[in-house]
């Protein structure tokens, strides 16, 4: 079960260090089988190889080792921190930062070439959701254009855009339908859900057969709350 926190543009280098320290202390005292990941901003990246339990990953990178890409970071910068886990395709990058499917696919190919673990995000806008499951799946499959889904270090995060940061999660039935449809084509790939996951809805989401974990934004910003999410996820998989 993957339990991952995406900090987005939140936390500083100092507060991230405190957060990881708190999480490590908690995980020392609470052995569990969750694959715990934290994706801080690039300026707050910590040496991933120095955390015993938490996998530190990157929210973003440019698909190049180094070079003339003003404002971006490449493999050289991530390697300095031993980063081996990345997010690709988050809707905030696709929509707000205008990342095309072509660029997303280039980033994916580059991450794969480097052997990084990928959490590949997909999700539909509200207007598509309103047209029903068929329209949602058609939209989501397009987001796999140029993506090698046979990559063994891939996890997919289904994150309906309208559920991200809104406090309104998708319904468990809707999540179940989408994850099962994805599972029918991607049997070997862990499937995560993201979109207003909280201590109140996490258990019912991770209890779904096709759900292999969660990617959380807001609910993961506070270390103590994120620890609660880990406990809930662990208990749900014991049942």
Provide the minimum distance between the beta carbon of 50 and ligand PEP in the complex, in angstroms, as a whole number: 25
Residue of 11, 53, 90, 92 marked active site: 90
The smaller minimum CB distance to ligand PEP, of residues 95 and 133, is found at 95
**Residue number, 59 or 75, with CB nearest to ligand PEP:** 59
Dist CA 147 CA 108 (whole Å):
7
The nearest distance, CB 219 to ligand PEP, in angstroms, is: 6
Q: Are strands 154-158 and 191-193 parallel, antiparallel or unpaired?
A: parallel
Query: Could you tell me the CA-to-CA distances from 177 to 128, 132, 162 in Å, in that order?
Result: 15, 11, 17
Which residue's CB comes closest to ligand PEP?
A: 217
Return residues touching ligand PEP (CB under 6 A).
Answer: 6, 159, 164-165, 194-197, 215-219
The whole-angstrom distance between residue 171's C-alpha and the CA centroid of its chain comes to: 19
Whole-angstrom distance, CA of residue 1 vs CA of residue 54 = 13
Q: Shortest Cβ distance from residue 170 to ligand PEP (Å)? A: 10
Task: Please report, for residues 1, 38, 110, the alpha-carbon distance to residue 216 in angstroms, rounded to integers and kept in the order given.
Answer: 13, 10, 25
CB of 215 to ligand PEP, least distance (A): 5
Q: Using CA atoms, how far apart are residues 60 and 39, in angstroms rounded to an integer?
A: 9
Judge residue 37's burial from the number of C-beta atoms within 10 Å of its C-beta, 0-12 exposed, 13-18 middle, 19 or more buried: buried
Cα(131)–Cα(125) distance, rounded to whole angstroms? 11
- DSSP, res 190: -
**Would you call 11 a catalytic residue per the annotation?**
no
Measured distance CA(18)–CA(160) in Å, rounded:
31
Question: Residues 92, 117, 124, 159: which is the catalytic one?
Answer: 159
The reply to whether 145 belongs to the active site is no
- Decide: residue 71, CB within 10 A, 0-12 exposed, 13-18 middle, 19+ buried: exposed
* CB 220, min distance to ligand PEP, A: 7
Would you tell me how many other CB atoms lie within 10 Å of the CB of residue 183? 17
Query: Annotated catalytic sites, by residue?
Result: 90, 159
């Amino acid at each position: 079960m993957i339990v991952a926190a995406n900090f987005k543009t939140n936390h500083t280098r100092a507060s991230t260090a405190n957060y990881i320290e708190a999480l490590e202390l908690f995980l020392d005292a609470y052995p569990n089988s969750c694959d715990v990941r934290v994706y801080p901003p690039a300026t707050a990246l910590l040496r991933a190889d120095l955390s015993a339990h938490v996998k530190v990953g990157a929210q973003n990178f440019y698909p190049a080792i180094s070079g003339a890409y003003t404002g971006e970071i490449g493999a050289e910068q991530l390697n300095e921190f031993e980063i081996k886990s990345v997010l690709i395709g988050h809707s905030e990058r696709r929509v707000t930062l205008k990342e095309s499917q072509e660029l997303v696919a280039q980033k994916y190919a580059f991450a794969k070439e480097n052997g990084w673990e990928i959490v590949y995000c997909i999700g539909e806008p509200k207007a598509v959701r309103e047209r029903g499951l068929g329209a949602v799946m058609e939209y989501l499959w397009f987001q796999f254009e140029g993506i090698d889904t046979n990559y063994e270090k891939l996890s997919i995060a289904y994150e309906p855009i309208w559920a991200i940061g809104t406090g309104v999660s998708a319904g468990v039935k809707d999540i179940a339908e989408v994850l099962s449809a994805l599972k029918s084509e991607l049997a070997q790939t862990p499937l995560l859900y993201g979109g207003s996951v909280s201590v109140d809805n996490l258990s019912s989401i991770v209890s779904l057969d096709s759900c292999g974990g969660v990617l959380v934004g807001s609910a993961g910003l506070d270390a103590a709350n994120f620890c609660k999410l880990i406990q809930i996820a662990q208990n749900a998989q014991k049942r």
